[in-house]
Structure 1
Amino acid sequence: MTDSAAALRLAEAKSFVGLHARHMGLRTRRVQDTLRRITALDGEQPGSWLAEWTRPAEEQLRRGHHQAAADHYNLARFPCADTAAKRRAEQLAAQSMLGLLRTRRHGRRQTLVHEGREVTFLFGPGRRRSAPLVVMMGGIVSLKEQWGSLLAAVPRAGCAVAVADFPGVGENGVPYSRTAGRVFSALIDAVAGDCDAGRTLVVAPSFAGHLALKQAPDDPRIKGVVTVGAPLQEFFVDPHIRAAMPRITRAALEHTCGLPPERLDAQLAELALSHDELADLDLPVHYLASLRDEIIPTTEWRRAAALNPRWRVHAFDDVHGSPRHVTRIRAMILGDILAHAGRRHTARTLGTLQAIRPLHAVGPLIRPRPARTGHAS
């Protein structure tokens, strides 16, 4: 790799990691101080990405700050655990979260076997066994430990919660493929005795949203999907869009699919959701979009919303993941969880306080088809 290519990859990594740091609640100044010390994306030497994120992780662990330690180890293996040292950081993130679970006792680790592969996830039981379920799955570059705070927050809102890694990431041994979404049903099965799994809301940002939308028609227990910037169709089939994706995204996709670079594009082309699949999806979908998304074209969600009247879209004037609107996105997702728990009045009040309204800046590209009937909801 040339020096210029390596510098570009490092610049991309520094740019993209800001979104995840904000979602983790890490202080901006400390994140920027760490990024300034990083001069290489690869290697384990001082100044490398791994070394400079591992140092604050170890410091947080010594202080007994398990969540902060897990967050920093998460960033140390960003964007994917493609070396032995980064896999070790991934393991240390999981161990740090286990320390948090033992200390606060508001959740547990569980492991299921799906299609011969182990999937370890975090589970926070609701305050009652009749509580509906929320399944949370992150995207291709983040670990489930990033969402550890949900183990306490979601039960307080009235639901049980299962938090899992994306296929091919962390402790999810299932590779990313067109059928990988079946792991959502496996997760629901695994906790069905501890909650009302027949009422499940899936919260799945980015590529996890794609899998959730693929699996939802096959599992009537899934009553709704909330996603942030999910690819649907064009991302997978348009060669120009694929060619323009950031190197960080491509590297993470190669890792999650378990494929060499030359085979990735053919695999992605098989993942696209068809027009009929989008139009026939008979459950509520809340899609949080970004108007300046550098990965997902805006035509993805505009076309889907035009095809299916059950889609509700909020579009922010921001880049992928809307990092400048994290607080509002959290409020929207919390509102969806509260509504799923039956606390609709509280959800409406939260929406009013946040001045949350759908933002549809551009009219539909396709005339909506009539709503279909007779499908499982």
Structure 2
Amino acid sequence: MGNPVTDSSAALELAEAKKFVGLHARHMGLRTRRVQDTLRRITALHGDQPGSWLAEWSRLAEEHQSRGRHQAAADHYNLARFPCADTAAKRRAEQLAAQSLRGLLRGPRHGRRQTLVHEGREVTVLFRPGPRRSAPLVVMMGGIVSLKEQWGSLLAAVPRAGCAVAIADFPGVGENRLPYSRTAGQVFSAVIDAVGGDCDGDRTLVVAPSFAGHLALTQAPADPRIQGVVTVGAPLRKFFTDSRVRDEMPRITRTALERACRLSPGALDAHLSELALNQDQLAALEIPVHYVASLRDEIIPTAEWRRAAALNPRWRVHAFDDVHGSPHHVVQTRAIILSAILAHAGRPRAARALGALRPLLPAARGGRRS
């Protein structure tokens, strides 16, 4: 007979993972019915046997790969290693996600993989130049549970808008060997240095959801080439300094943070307290910041962005009645990001037109506009 306490804990852990990945899949544009069918087949979070998390998502990834659906294969391998690659099998899924997307990189004009070295550690980025060599740059970085390959569609979309694009993993995730630390935001400057010869890196917009947004905001004051930041649910101060907030974070978030920071359990809280932005830093930011906020965020307290917006008039908050990452407002969030990219590309009329359209876009079931 199994241990009732252990069995109960495993069931809760699996239920939490299913809840979070169901919401995360919305951002990836995956079909809700197919995701739910897969989640129903999964009976174990760990291991690699049929019915396990890794096996079921990997099987779907292999199907897509066999049909030449490179982006879909990468997306499903991304889910196979969710929330982080903490086993050899999940690290293999992470590698397969990167290999899958190589099918989209058919030549210099379609994008390339480029590896840079920062502080003695390798960081691989996906880069595609803009329509002209003088095009401004957009640097995209995902959060602690997603691989850069998830954002592969931006390799086509951003150049169409008029910008070059570089996509990097968050520190401690995928092919970014740096640990998440106070100085890890310097990787944004390293990416600009690496690709700046093929675009106008002096004009860079950073699109960085969640914890990547925190890193972008720590680095922006030190690098004048960063001329704007778009983020979704970024922690700023209270998450890092309030022990009650940290204690209430989902187990999946804590696991992924420990992996990204390269810390053992028990050492995370002291490390996080060192990462907080102070009020002077938030007030002194002289660049426009678009912050997508969720009123029912289970990770980031509303005090984070309310205080920042009160301190700095250059912050524009887009608040939705939703949970972390505003998964039920994906269309609206994409419109906010695209509008910022269009403005950055020197297309203000197109940006304003899209901005005027955004309030008319419907929310998905389960979320409401505010």
1:353 is aligned, of 347, 357, 360, to 357
Give the alignment's TM-score, normalised by structure 2.
0.95
Work out the CA distance in 1 between the residues paired with 2:94 and 2:117: 20
Please say which of residues 16-25 and 63-72 is displaced more in the overlay.
16-25
Alignment match, 1:93? 97
- The question of 1:271 aligning with 2:244 is answered no
2:164 is aligned, of 155, 160, 171, to 160
Alignment match, 2:364? none
TM-superposed CA distance for 1:19, in Å, is 2.7
Work out the CA distance in 1 between the residues paired with 2:360 and 2:235: 23
- The question of 1:219 aligning with 2:198 is answered no
Alignment match, 1:47? 51
Work out the CA distance in 1 between the residues paired with 2:106 and 2:15: 38
Work out the CA distance in 2 between the residues paired with 1:106 and 1:38: 36
- The question of 1:80 aligning with 2:90 is answered no
Q: How does 1:301-320 map to 2 (within 5 A)?
A: 301-320=305-324
Work out the CA distance in 2 between the residues paired with 1:247 and 1:103: 41
Work out the CA distance in 1 between the residues paired with 2:109 and 2:60: 25
Q: Deviations over 1:88-114 (max 9, x none)?
A: 000000000012212895111000000
Q: Deviations over 1:219-238 (max 9, x none)?
A: 00000000000000000111
TM-superposed CA distance for 1:57, in Å, is 0.3
- The question of 1:176 aligning with 2:174 is answered no
Aligned-residue sequence identity (percent) comes to: 79
1:147 is aligned, of 151, 160, 171, to 151
Q: Deviations over 1:143-199 (max 9, x none)?
A: 000000000100000000000000000000000000000000000000110000000
Alignment match, 1:331? 335
Counterpart residue type for residue 356 of structure 2: T
Alignment match, 1:71? 75
Provide the secondary structure at the position in 2 that maps to 1:355: helix
Q: Deviations over 1:304-327 (max 9, x none)?
A: 000111100010000001111000
Provide the secondary structure at the position in 1 that maps to 2:196: helix
Aligned residues: 360
Give the alignment's TM-score, normalised by structure 1.
0.93
**Contact 2:109–2:128 (CA under 8 A) maintained in structure 1:** no
2:123 is aligned, of 88, 110, 119, to 119
Q: How does 1:240-255 map to 2 (within 5 A)?
A: 240-255=244-259
**Contact 1:314–1:360 (CA under 8 A) maintained in structure 2:** no
TM-superposed CA distance for 1:356, in Å, is 7.0
Work out the CA distance in 1 between the residues paired with 2:203 and 2:231: 18
- The question of 1:133 aligning with 2:137 is answered yes
Q: How does 1:225-240 map to 2 (within 5 A)?
A: 225-240=229-244
Let me know the Cα RMSD of the aligned residues: 1.6
Provide the secondary structure at the position in 1 that maps to 2:267: helix
**Contact 1:181–1:215 (CA under 8 A) maintained in structure 2:** yes
TM-superposed CA distance for 1:7, in Å, is 1.1
Counterpart residue type for residue 331 of structure 1: A
Work out the CA distance in 2 between the residues paired with 1:209 and 1:79: 18
In structure 1, runs of 5+ residues without a counterpart are 362-377
**Contact 2:320–2:369 (CA under 8 A) maintained in structure 1:** no
Alignment match, 2:27? 23
Pick closer, same or farther for the CA change 1:121–1:186 going to 2, 3 Å: same
**Contact 1:236–1:242 (CA under 8 A) maintained in structure 2:** yes
